[in-house]
Structure 1
Amino acid sequence: MVVSPQPGPVVVRAEGVSKLFTVRKDNTLKERIVHAGRRGRTHKQEYIAVDGVDLEIRAGTTVGLLGPNGSGKSTLLKLIGGIVSPTRGSVLTRGRMAALLELGAGFHPDLSGRENVYLNASIMGMSRAETTAKFDEILEFSGIGDFIDTQVKFYSSGMFVRLAFAVAVHTDPDVLLVDEVLAVGDEAFQRKCMERIARFRKEGRTIILVSHSAAQVQELCDRGVVLKDGKMVFDGQVNDAVAALRDVLEGRRVGEKPPPEPVKPIEVTRIEVLGEDGERRKSVEVGAPLCIRVHVRAREAMRTWATGFSIDTPTGQMVLASNTDRLGVELPAIAAGDAHMDFKIESAHFGAGQYFVNANVSEIIDIDTHVLMQGARFTMKGGPQNLGTVAASIRVS
């Protein structure tokens, strides 16, 4: 992560910001005429999209807005960008702001791509002369080619995003707002976008990003803000923010531990991540050997038992799992007390990022199983050549 050595000035300040929308239940003209003469507002419902958010963002930081669907992420981003006005509170910003909020936002469907470049750039504060000077760079970055003179209503979603992002990053913004658009387009273009965002970070620009991809947020951001039902429930270091997001998605209060399970005849007590030398590891290099040590405690002697492990991304996506039954290993009888089992991974080829380790144990596989979730955590270190949860050695010939 790239963190500014000196905190910059505040470029975004939200003070007690709330946004209410009125949702009408009478969607037809007939229903509206019928309700027009009635008192009361039973045909209307107020929906609070953002509820009393206080937020400060300093220059040079990259902030990820996280949360489940309907949590208010996109609305907060629109409030920051001035696209919508707050119902209560205030939002103060400084510097040139480029907003890439919705697919094709600011594009007129009946105009060509070329005409829309000038239109969109002017909305973002660029003069016609400035746009002309950068037009070739915008076209090359977008990869649209000859389609630049085609009406954009004939564009695919990927072409929309390519052109819109190309315009946004060439307006020389102080603050760049990005809402989920990096989920559209091919992998090569996504990588190009992330490289441009990384360059912006090095140049000390401010980026505010909404994404459902925890891995993307971890790669790009140095701070995470988690929203739930319009309220901000966490603001801090990005890895902790991803853990807080998982709490929200699993229906827990942030930082709350899962409820205790009933007592089992054999339980997992802890999990360790070890290196080839048997020492504990908090970080592992891509391709290095890895050992998952599962510590268990039997309440009484047991003739049979089985254990297993899984490795997840911060959002709970399983990347690797196995157990003694799948490996064809029959464990010897276990005495009452503590014991452990080692699962040795000869070469760990996970993509760079953070991972959680879970483990389970039972007397008979999948019956009366005790599970310890997120008993260990480690970071996989790797270069920028790969994206995703799998790392591989790639060369071009």
Structure 2
Amino acid sequence: MSAPEVVRVDGVSKRFIVRKDNTLKERVIHLGAMGRKHRKVYTAVDDVSISITAGTTVGLLGPNGSGKSTLLKLIGGIVSPSTGTVQTRGRMAALLELGAGFHPDLSGRENVFLNASILGMTRAETERQFDSIVEFSGIGDFIDTQVKFYSSGMFVRLAFAVAIHTDPDVLLVDEVLAVGDEAFQRKCMDKVVQFQAEGRTIIIVSHSAGQIAELCDRAIVLDEGRVIFDGAADEGISVLREALEGRRTGTAVREEVEPSVEVASIRALDPHDGTPLKSLTPGDPLEFEVALTVRSPVTVWETGFSIDTPQGQVVLSTNNVRLARELPPLSPGERLVRYRISDTHLGSGQYYLNAYVLDGDGHNHALGQGAFFAVSKVDENLGTVWADVSIVEVE
């Protein structure tokens, strides 16, 4: 038997009125037909139709402003659609704005009962879950302190703990799995995995491709309010990367003084035939070339590169000094520096190539995200590092 539908979105659009006249005086002046010139209709979600079955974990992906959070709020019933219908089944918990409904002058204990009632729990249910909520949040002896004296981390930990104890059938999550310290983030992820094992439905909005790959079995990619992909999570991540490629590559950083040599471009290459490279398999070799523009003769210079994740985490960085490679003098013109990594050992995901050059006078020029490439998904392990791992023995 196929799993039942728990969410059905049929032809849904959501439009907002964006006003340019923000003060009362301006609105009085612009009353009538003139006021229409100072209003603009913005379509956040445009004719979206999706169906989500019970027990699935769905990731909503897209660039900033693509309508992900608005669609999640439509599913959660927080905002109403301008056109179309949204139907849901079962108890729903929305982790959209943690702490909404908390009163700063009330204690943590009082806010637990207040927030739980807003989320649909009875007092008896909250009393049964109270000890578990406090233990999960790690608030401890501060539970009877007014929350206005809490740190931001304590505040969101308590709010998250309340939300996940509402025993939902459908869990809506909007970029809140990164609250608190690293240990608490792991606890949040473990709770989501537990929900999956219990057969609950989870819909996640996240900019973390790794998080989507780890948790989701389906991805829905939006762009300008429309669905441009609906399918397997790894394919959806690839579609998102293609959509973002043109927005992110080729940011140059230079000093006020014009350097003698600049990084003109970066190209990732297939080491077998030298053609442009878009993707590779973990463990494959990688070659790339850095094109330099030399304006005046350079005797002493330095160059290097780094490989980053989309979040800016450096996974590999080096330069000619670390590699103990002396560089020849440069005459004016165009020059190429070619690098080769014999075995990448990068985990599945998207990576950006950055390069810099430093001339003899200490003037630096860098090209950030000058090129990008993807490492195809593997089932053996997760993370930014790939390794050939095996179980040797079980005693």
TM-score by length of 2: 0.72
Match for residue 343 of structure 1 among 320, 336, 341: 341
Q: CA deviation at 1:203?
A: 0.9
**Structure 2: where are the runs of 5+ without partners?**
248-266, 273-279, 290-303, 328-337, 356-364, 388-395
Q: CA deviation at 1:206?
A: 0.6
1:49-198 equivalences under 5 Å are 49-198=44-193
- 1:270 corresponds to which residue? 270
Q: CA deviation at 1:166?
A: 0.9
Q: Which AA in structure 2 matches 1:158?
A: G
- 1:263 corresponds to which residue? none
**Alpha-carbon separation, structure 2, partners of 1:202 and 1:86:** 32
More divergent stretch after superposition (177-186 vs 188-197) = 177-186
Contact 2:307 2:317 in 1 (8 A): yes
Q: Which AA in structure 1 matches 2:69?
A: S
- 2:285 corresponds to which residue? 292
Task: Report Cα offsets for 1:355-391 as digits up to 9, x if no partner.
Answer: 559799xxxxx9xxxx9853753538447xxxx6469
* Aligned length, in residue pairs: 330
Match for residue 315 of structure 2 among 313, 319, 328: 319
Q: CA deviation at 1:84?
A: 0.6
Q: 1:155 to 1:19 in 2, by over 3 A?
A: farther
- 1:222 corresponds to which residue? 217
Contact 1:271 1:376 in 2 (8 A): no
Q: 1:77 to 1:40 in 2, by over 3 A?
A: same
Contact 2:117 2:123 in 1 (8 A): yes
SS state of the match for residue 36, structure 1?
coil
Q: 1:35 to 1:343 in 2, by over 3 A?
A: closer
**Alpha-carbon separation, structure 1, partners of 2:310 and 2:91:** 34
- 2:295 corresponds to which residue? none
Task: Report Cα offsets for 1:29-66 as digits up to 9, x if no partner.
Answer: 21122223554411222111111111111111111111
- 2:18 corresponds to which residue? 23
Task: Report Cα offsets for 1:2-43 as digits up to 9, x if no partner.
Answer: xxxx75211111111111111222211211222235544112
Contact 1:19 1:49 in 2 (8 A): yes
Q: 1:18 to 1:271 in 2, by over 3 A?
A: farther
SS state of the match for residue 63, structure 1?
strand
**Alpha-carbon separation, structure 1, partners of 2:30 and 2:79:** 28
**Alpha-carbon separation, structure 2, partners of 1:184 and 1:390:** 25
More divergent stretch after superposition (319-328 vs 108-117) = 319-328
Q: Which AA in structure 1 matches 2:162?
A: V
- 1:200 corresponds to which residue? 195
Contact 1:71 1:227 in 2 (8 A): yes
**Alpha-carbon separation, structure 2, partners of 1:201 and 1:318:** 32
Contact 1:18 1:49 in 2 (8 A): yes
Identical-residue share of aligned pairs (%): 63
**Alpha-carbon separation, structure 2, partners of 1:45 and 1:109:** 36
Task: Report Cα offsets for 1:259-314 as digits up to 9, x if no partner.
Answer: xxxxxxxx976258xxxxxxxx955xxxxxx4525499xxxxxxxxxxx9975547
Task: Report Cα offsets for 1:93-139 as digits up to 9, x if no partner.
Answer: 00100011013122233322212211222222221111101100011
Q: 1:341 to 1:30 in 2, by over 3 A?
A: closer
Q: CA deviation at 1:315?
A: 6.9
Q: 1:325 to 1:234 in 2, by over 3 A?
A: farther
SS state of the match for residue 70, structure 2?
helix
Contact 1:66 1:224 in 2 (8 A): yes
**Alpha-carbon separation, structure 2, partners of 1:327 and 1:181:** 42
Q: Which AA in structure 1 matches 2:316?
A: L
**Alpha-carbon separation, structure 2, partners of 1:122 and 1:169:** 13
Q: CA deviation at 1:143?
A: 0.8
Q: Calculate the aligned-residue CA RMSD, in Å.
A: 3.8
Q: CA deviation at 1:165?
A: 1.4
- 1:242 corresponds to which residue? 237
SS state of the match for residue 78, structure 2?
coil
Contact 1:358 1:375 in 2 (8 A): no
**Alpha-carbon separation, structure 2, partners of 1:313 and 1:207:** 26
Q: CA deviation at 1:247?
A: 1.7
Q: Which AA in structure 2 matches 1:320?
A: L
SS state of the match for residue 14, structure 1?
strand
Q: CA deviation at 1:217?
A: 1.5
**Alpha-carbon separation, structure 2, partners of 1:193 and 1:74:** 20
**Alpha-carbon separation, structure 2, partners of 1:214 and 1:270:** 24
Q: CA deviation at 1:316?
A: 7.9
**Alpha-carbon separation, structure 1, partners of 2:198 and 2:151:** 32
- 1:377 corresponds to which residue? 376
TM-score by length of 1: 0.71
Q: 1:372 to 1:137 in 2, by over 3 A?
A: closer
Task: Report Cα offsets for 1:185-214 as digits up to 9, x if no partner.
Answer: 111111000000001111111111111211
